[in-house]
Amino acid sequence: MDKINITDNMETVSILKKVNIANKKLAELKGIVKTIPNEKILINFIFLQEAKDSSAIENIITTHDELYKQFIFDKSQHIAAKEVENYVEALYSGYDIIKNTELLTINGICEIQSILERNNAGIRSQSGTKILNAATGKVIYEPPQTKQEIEILFADLENFINNDALYPELDNLIKMAIIHYQFEKIHPFFDGNGRTGRIINVLYLTLKKLLDSPVLYLSKYIIENKQEYYSKIDYVTKTNDYEPYILFMLDAVYETSCHTISIVEKISKTMMEVKHKIRDELKLNYYSQELINALFYMPYTKIAFIEEYLNITRRTSAKYLNELCEYNILSKHKLGNNVYYINETLANILSNT
């Protein structure tokens, strides 16, 4: 395997046309995200869906219901939901890293992977890793085997990610596609390479200011086109022709930008409807923008969350939530001795996207 080398088939006429279209849609997404009163509402929303679908690519399957319960109850009853929780934590950790350092380094990537896998194994140090066809068991790719070779290639990738003086004329969306391919082929870890690679995608776009926060939901497109995704990567490996693969990744950026814009519009509309109902129709004396934000922070909530979010007593929190159930803004549920509340409209937006 070679270090990154920019070739003519990475900047064909077809690629440059599609880059322009994808960049415009990404800029539209960046602008519309600012219409959400609290960016963390959207970050939570997208992170949960990205985590669920990125994990599904690795055959880690969970339902929305299991996932939300994982986040409101301390002890998970579902292993896959715990895996998705790890993914969300890794995304947040990566986001903090690039905000604080304005870099995405090998150490940062290793930290992301360690959160995903809950171990500190780090970069592969033993040979023998092979990528197999899941159906036939045949070897389809053998990544670099020695730790020395992996570290050399990883260092080259790190430089490509962070050094804007390298290939300054190369568009960042093309760079993102190259970074993703190179990382997947280096396959630096024993486990978690796919999910780590998909986190790198959206962190890179945020690092390069194409987004203000990592809210692009790329895994949806990849999971819907899973076989084509693997086929395009395999084609690059066999032919060194990047054009079909880069076009695929640009389509992913465009389509998921459109999809995320639609999600933002639905959330904004629903928040305004709930705000209008609480403030203007019902004229509830405890209305505040913070209350609206709290109700949309997660689809599932509980008394303790609202208590902490609004800095009110537990009794007052329970009163608010139960009253909102009476007005069909929330619904009340029990799991064993635990009571929780669902923002059904918000939950439906996520489960139907």
> What CATH number does residue 308 fall under?
1.10.10.10
- Classified as helix, coil or strand, 300 is strand
CA distance 141 to 160: 24
Domain boundary among 212, 236, 263: 263
Q: What is the pLDDT of residues 107-133, one digit of tens each?
A: 999 999 999 999 999 999 988 888 877
Is there a domain that residue 269 lies in? no
Residues paired with residue 131 on neighbouring β-strands, in sequence order: 141
124 has binding-site annotation:
no
- Is 346:329 a contact under the CB 8 Å cutoff? no
Is there a domain that residue 338 lies in? yes
Domain boundary among 228, 263, 298: 263
pLDDT exceeds cutoff 80 at 51: no
Q: Kindly state whether residues 291 and 241 are assigned to the same domain.
A: no
Q: Residue 111: which domain range?
A: 8-263
Q: Kindly state whether residues 187 and 295 are assigned to the same domain.
A: no
Q: What positions carry a catalytic annotation?
A: 187
Q: CB neighbours (10 Å) of residue 46?
A: 23
Is there a domain that residue 213 lies in? yes
280 has binding-site annotation:
no
Is there a domain that residue 271 lies in? no
Q: Please state which of the ranges 9-23, 187-201, 215-229, 326-340 shows the lowest mean pLDDT.
A: 215-229
Is there a domain that residue 274 lies in? no
Paired sense of beta strands 338-342 and 139-141, if any? unpaired
CA distance 154 to 160: 10
Q: Kindly state whether residues 304 and 257 are assigned to the same domain.
A: no
Q: CB neighbours (10 Å) of residue 52?
A: 26
300 closest CA partner among 36, 73, 74, 79: 73
Q: Kindly state whether residues 153 and 202 are assigned to the same domain.
A: yes
The number of folded domains in the chain is 2
Burial profile 189-209: b = 16 or more Cβ within 10 angstroms, e = fewer: bbebbbbbbbbbbbbbbbbbe
195 has binding-site annotation:
yes
Q: Kindly state whether residues 246 and 289 are assigned to the same domain.
A: no
Q: Kindly state whether residues 229 and 336 are assigned to the same domain.
A: no
CA distance 170 to 208: 13
Q: What is the pLDDT of residues 291-318, one digit of tens each?
A: 999 999 889 999 999 999 999 999 999 9
- Is 246:174 a contact under the CB 8 Å cutoff? yes
**Percentage of the chain surpassing pLDDT 70?**
93
- Is 267:41 a contact under the CB 8 Å cutoff? yes
Q: Kindly state whether residues 12 and 131 are assigned to the same domain.
A: yes
Q: What is the CATH number of the domain that holds 149?
A: 1.10.3290.10
Q: Kindly state whether residues 296 and 221 are assigned to the same domain.
A: no
Q: Kindly state whether residues 246 and 298 are assigned to the same domain.
A: no
**336: region left, alpha or beta (phi > 0 left; psi from -120 to 50 alpha):** left
Is there a domain that residue 43 lies in? yes
Q: What is the pLDDT of residues 17-31, one digit of tens each?
A: 999 999 999 999 999
Is there a domain that residue 243 lies in? yes
Q: Please state which of the ranges 61-70, 219-228, 272-281, 282-291 shows the lowest mean pLDDT.
A: 61-70
Q: Which whole number is the average pLDDT over 66-73?
A: 76
- And the tokens for 232? 């395009």
CA distance 59 to 129: 20
CA distance 48 to 220: 12
Band (pLDDT 50/70/90 cuts) for residue 81 is low
Q: Kindly state whether residues 226 and 113 are assigned to the same domain.
A: yes
pLDDT at 134: 67
- Classified as helix, coil or strand, 114 is helix
CA distance 155 to 157: 5
Q: Kindly state whether residues 95 and 181 are assigned to the same domain.
A: yes
Q: Kindly state whether residues 31 and 173 are assigned to the same domain.
A: yes
pLDDT exceeds cutoff 70 at 54: no
- Classified as helix, coil or strand, 47 is helix
Mean pLDDT of the residues in the chain: 91
Domain boundary among 235, 263, 291: 263
How many angstroms separate the Cα of 64 from the Cα of each of 184, 287, 330?
Answer: 28, 29, 17
65 has binding-site annotation:
no
192 has binding-site annotation:
yes
Sign of CA dihedral 207, 267, 294, 66: negative
List Cβ<8 Å contacts ≥24 apart for 130-139.
131/187
229 has binding-site annotation:
yes
Is there a domain that residue 1 lies in? no
- Classified as helix, coil or strand, 168 is coil
